[in-house]
Every structure is written in C-alpha cells, then in structure tokens.
Chain A
Amino acid sequence: SQLAEENPWALSVHEGESVTVNCSYKTSITALQWYRQKSGEGPAQLILIRSNEREKRNGRLRATLDTSSQSSSLSITATRCEDTAVYFCATDPDQGGRALIFGTGTTVSVSP
C-alpha cells in the first residue's frame, strides 16, 4: 500500500473556480510538501508545511495539515489554465529513512 495518497485521482474545473486536492499519509512526519508537475517537466515545490504548523499560504495556494488524522489538503483559488498539472503531496518521515516520499498524484485540469 502507498505511504501517501492523494484524492481524487483527477479533477476538472473551469478557470476562476477553486479546487482542493486531499492527501492522506501513513507515517509520522517532520513535514509535508506539495509539488506540481507540468507535462514534460520535473516537479516544482509549491508549499512546505512542517508538522507543528496547521496552515500555510502561498499566493493563491493554501495548504492545511492535520497530524492527528494524518491528512493534508491543498486548495487553489481563482484557478488559471496554467494550473493544469499533476499535484503530489510528499512526506518527510521523522524516523527510518529521510527520503522525500511522493504520493500517487492528482491530475488537475483547468479549462477556459
């Protein structure tokens, strides 16, 4: 089973609408990161939220973290066509390995 999973698997919205991607994870973490991967590119970090933080904002992006339920969400407001991408959550485990572990990804499509 996956150590981190996003849901839903895919989302479609129109420009200007808001969209939320959810992530559930199974390990104890020091931080959780959200990355965006556009077609043909490598992932690019959007937000890093540490385990002692509950919310983090970056422009139109807002991430939440609930360590008790081991879940996180990423919301994008006023979406644009260029927000079309795969969105991954990635966990920094606080024990065992230190490697950043990616979830399965949510494909977000924003149409005009």
Chain B
Amino acid sequence: GPKVLQIPSHQIIDMGQMVTLNCDPVSNHLYFYWYKQILGQQMEFLVNFYNGKVMEKSKLFKDQFSVERPDGSYFTLKIQPTALEDSAVYFCASSTGGQAETLYFGSGTRLTVL
C-alpha cells in the first residue's frame, strides 16, 4: 500500500535546542497531519495542513511548533525550543481528502529531549 516515510526514526536532543522532523507523504496526497503519541498510548492530534496552510491545530500544538511543506518537498514539524514534555513519538500521516478518508501513517520519529 501507499507509504509515508519519516526521517529520522530516532532523535535525541538537549532541552532548548531546535529539532525538525521530516515526513515524505504519499505522492498524490493533499492533506498532511502530525500526531503525538506518548508511551504507546493515545494518538493525539496536533495539526493538519492543506494547500500550504494550517487548517486546524489542537491545544497541544504550542507556539514553539511550526509546520511547512516548501515546494512539495518534505512536510516538516519544527519545535523551537524543545521542552522535556516534547519527548514522544511523532507520527506523520497523509490523505487524499480532508474528512472521512483513510489516513496513511509513517512509522514515527521517536524524539527524546534530555
């Protein structure tokens, strides 16, 4: 099936540093998402993105977070500066449509903030 690639699979950084998580979505998909998961628990929605803009974001999407997809390249999640509570696995997903559509997820990036 369609594949979403996430790079890197693991990232360890010191608190206060900047980190960028990269996602290569399915090629013909138009909607992109980031979810956060702590310790294999609930998948928590962070943000979705369409046509170069943030469509909606949750309260977990703090001011230190930003997303972009410049010129159809990677869809990125940037955290600047990072905090200890940002440690989690971040999943990227993409879909063809914006609602009631299948989301295709990557394998996640495990972020550890020390």
Contact = CB atoms under 8 A, between A and B. Distances in A.
Contacts of A105: 41-42
Interface in B97-114: 98-100, 102-108
A86 B40 contact: yes
B93 A92 contact: no
Nearest to A49: B100
Interface string A91-109: 0100001111111110000
A104 B38 CA distance: 12
A23 to B, nearest CB: 13
Q: Which bracket fits the contact residues of B?
A: 20 to 34
B58 A99 contact: yes
Contacts of A90: 43
Top 4 A-B pairs ranked by shortest CB distance?
A42-B105, A31-B100, A102-B43, A99-B45
29 contacts: A31-B100, A33-B102, A37-B43, A41-B107, A41-B108, A42-B4, A42-B93, A42-B105, A42-B106, A42-B107, A43-B43, A43-B91, A43-B103, A43-B105, A45-B102, A45-B104, A48-B102, A88-B42, A88-B43, A99-B58, A100-B33, A100-B45, A100-B103, A102-B42, A102-B43, A102-B44, A102-B45, A103-B42, A104-B41
Interface of A: 2, 30-31, 33, 37, 39-45, 48, 50, 86, 88, 90, 92, 97-105
